[in-house]
Amino acid sequence: MSFYAGFDCSTQALSVVVLDAARRAIVFRDSLAFDEPFLASGDGTVVHASPHTWRRALETMLGRVAAQVDRRSLRAISGAAQQHGSVYCDEAPETLTRDTSPIWMDSSTARECREIEAALGGPAPAARLTGSRGFPRFTAPQIRKFAREQPEAYARTSRIHLVSSFMASLLVGAHAPIDHADASGMMLMDIGSRAWSRAALDATAPQLESKLPALVPSSTVVGTLAPKWQERFGLPPAEIVAWSGDNPSSLVGTGLIHEGQLAMSLGTSDTIFGPMREPRVSAEGIGHLFASPLGEYMGITVFRNGSLARQRVRDAFGMSWEAFSQSLQQTPPGNGGATMLPWFEPEITPEVPTARVHRFGLERAAPAQHVRAIVEAQIMALARHSTWMGVTPDVIHATGGAAANREILQIIADVFATPVNRFEATDSAALGAALRALQADTGREWDDVLEGFVTPVAEAIRPVATSIEVYRGLRALQAARERTALRT
């Protein structure tokens, strides 16, 4: 028997999936919610998390895996992690030179973004070089801010990791490399050659190259499980395959191999992504081009106000998710024109530096209409801001916590005029990581690796013709409302 484990160190939890390659079956899955997932400043612009929280959760989860599966069969382990966050380490990965890590929700580096972009010739040349213009959560502007504000701590730092490579380092017991896919979210890698870009390094901070791990393809075996974990949990010297970002891993976990396919992950962030054969970046500076863990490229657009914004509306009316779904059932598509721009926290897409919520036609509205307003607004924004990828999918694959909500998926089908596929489980990042471990160990073709693991639930959710019409009109109105709001 050959088992493969995939972790997902996401914003709110550490999850794991263990699969049995021969039986093409999941033999174990578990999730551990973080007590304190992140700490935000009053205005929501500075957002950090503790690497110690991730380390403790990894330890607990390794113990659970060892206790729950036939551990001698564990051949390889990989993982996925929230993207962009940086961990500042001393000689050993366990010793930190900075107690907390800025994470993807941080939007406090507008100044550094402009400075790095300027050094690279402007936003468009920066995007052509690294795959993205300057975005405040990207690692380079975060490193630049740290080097400026705490030069001594920066000088004492020997290694700067992404969350993904930090977690891999803990498993290996030594500094592990960064994979090309997650490195694409740093604004430091030349997306064409997949090497650190001299110009981007110089634009960011002094002596940066010496502090960065090596770059490797996502399918690289970066070491074996450290003796410390083998002794403690009776685990074998399993191969550790490079960890990657949660979105790149979800690309694998939702079975997207070919250009023309799109997936939507409705987690803490809402994201929409798909494979790309040739590199393309958006002329308006929306979204990102990443290296794909499958080898070519992937396009992605990211929204900060995802699940937590939906939760905020749900909680404002004291609802459960069931009541939230009922609200969507009780209200008509289009909501009679009542919408929202749900920027409860600073938004990534479109870039809204300070939180503000705009409500249209909701003054005397019932709670159910507020619920419909936020979901429709979010999904129309996902549609509007992903057109740059130039993909008209036959079907959308939905994943993430909110993909459990059938009513939300119906709105996606109607707004995109496309059927939506669901999966039994919504942990596609962890599943993708386990599948990457399997592929790296066996060298099998991707089609073969995915077979039987990423089969959608038989019944796709189909768009309703009358609703498609309603959203065609509402999307134009909502786009105009967004344009006006961005000018104020």
Task: Point out which residues bind ligand XUL (CB under 6 A).
Answer: 10-11, 82-84, 104, 137, 185, 245-247, 269, 271, 302
- Choice between 107 and 378, CB closer to ligand ADP: 378
Amino acid letter, 18 = V
- Choice between 139 and 339, CB closer to ligand XUL: 139
In the complex, the smallest distance separating the C-beta of residue 134 from ligand XUL, rounded to whole angstroms, is 14
- Choice between 289 and 373, CB closer to ligand XUL: 289
In the complex, the smallest distance separating the C-beta of residue 12 from ligand ADP, rounded to whole angstroms, is 4
5 close to 434: Cβ distance less than 8 angstroms? yes
Task: Point out which residues bind ligand ADP (CB under 6 A).
Answer: 10-13, 267-268, 307, 310-311, 321, 400-402, 404-405
What, of ligand XUL, ligand ADP, none, does residue 369 touch, CB below 5 to 8 Å by kind?
none
Nearest to 74 by CA among 360, 434, 315: 434
For the record, the structure tokens of 235 come out as 């685990």
What, of ligand XUL, ligand ADP, none, does residue 97 touch, CB below 5 to 8 Å by kind?
none
CA distance 69 to 41: 41
- Choice between 134 and 245, CB closer to ligand XUL: 245
- 91 CB neighbour count, 10 Å cutoff: 9
Cα→Cα distances 399→14, 238, 269, 350, 403, Å: 16, 29, 12, 22, 5
What, of ligand ADP, ligand XUL, none, does residue 321 touch, CB below 5 to 8 Å by kind?
ligand ADP
The DSSP call for residue 366 is -
In the complex, the smallest distance separating the C-beta of residue 31 from ligand ADP, rounded to whole angstroms, is 8
Helix axes 163-172 and 51-68, enclosed angle (nearest 10): 50
In the complex, the smallest distance separating the C-beta of residue 440 from ligand XUL, rounded to whole angstroms, is 21
- Choice between 13 and 340, CB closer to ligand ADP: 13
What, of ligand ADP, ligand XUL, none, does residue 108 touch, CB below 5 to 8 Å by kind?
none
What, of ligand XUL, ligand ADP, none, does residue 302 touch, CB below 5 to 8 Å by kind?
ligand XUL
In the complex, the smallest distance separating the C-beta of residue 208 from ligand XUL, rounded to whole angstroms, is 21
What, of ligand ADP, ligand XUL, none, does residue 253 touch, CB below 5 to 8 Å by kind?
none
- Choice between 79 and 267, CB closer to ligand ADP: 267
CA distance 102 to 39: 10
The C-alpha torsion from 253 through 257 and 259 to 260, rounded to 10°, is -60
Which long-range contacts does 52-56 make (Cβ < 8 Å, 24+ apart)?
A: 54/9, 54/14, 54/163, 54/166, 54/167, 55/94, 55/170
Query: In which element (H, E) is residue 406 found?
Result: helix 406-416
- Choice between 10 and 86, CB closer to ligand XUL: 10
Amino acid letter, 340 = M
In the complex, the smallest distance separating the C-beta of residue 183 from ligand ADP, rounded to whole angstroms, is 20
The C-alpha torsion from 177 through 181 and 183 to 185, rounded to 10°, is -150
In the complex, the smallest distance separating the C-beta of residue 410 from ligand ADP, rounded to whole angstroms, is 13
- Choice between 32 and 362, CB closer to ligand XUL: 32
